[in-house]
Amino acid sequence: MRKATNKDREVTYMLPRIKEIWPEDDLELLVVFDEGKKVLYDVKEDIEELPDYSVLREVAGLFQQVQVDPSRTCVYWNDVVDLASDSIYEYGKAI
């Protein structure tokens, strides 16, 4: 849970929790969140912008090994490459 403060009030919000995830063709993730929202998240843009993510394209089979962390608020492929659930939630294409 995160807290953000405004001049007159404090706002609390929960990070979206991932229920299920599937690596799809063409470097996309199909993600289902606890509250039922489903999104398709394209990882190609991250690969182009973030040098560490290039291994997802370069290492055969790595993209398919995506895992959800125990808190269910992040997916990861290795010790360096991960992606927060709120980014997936916000920037994924609703389906």
d(CA 60, CA 36): 31
pLDDT at 31: 98
- 3-state helix/strand/coil string of the chain: CEEEECCCCEEEECCCCEEEEEEECCCEEEEEECCCCEEEEECHHHHHHCHHHHHHHHCCCCHHHCEECCCCCEEECCCCCEEEHHHHHHHCEEC
Count of structural domains within the chain: 1
Give 11-27 pLDDT, tens digit per residue.
Answer: 667 899 999 999 999 99
How far from 66 is each of 29, 31, 44, 55, CA to CA, in Å?
9, 11, 15, 13
CATH of the domain at 66: 3.30.2020.10
Give 53-74 pLDDT, tens digit per residue.
Answer: 999 999 999 999 999 999 999 9
Residue 23 lies in domain: 2-94
Q: What is the pTM of this model?
A: 0.85
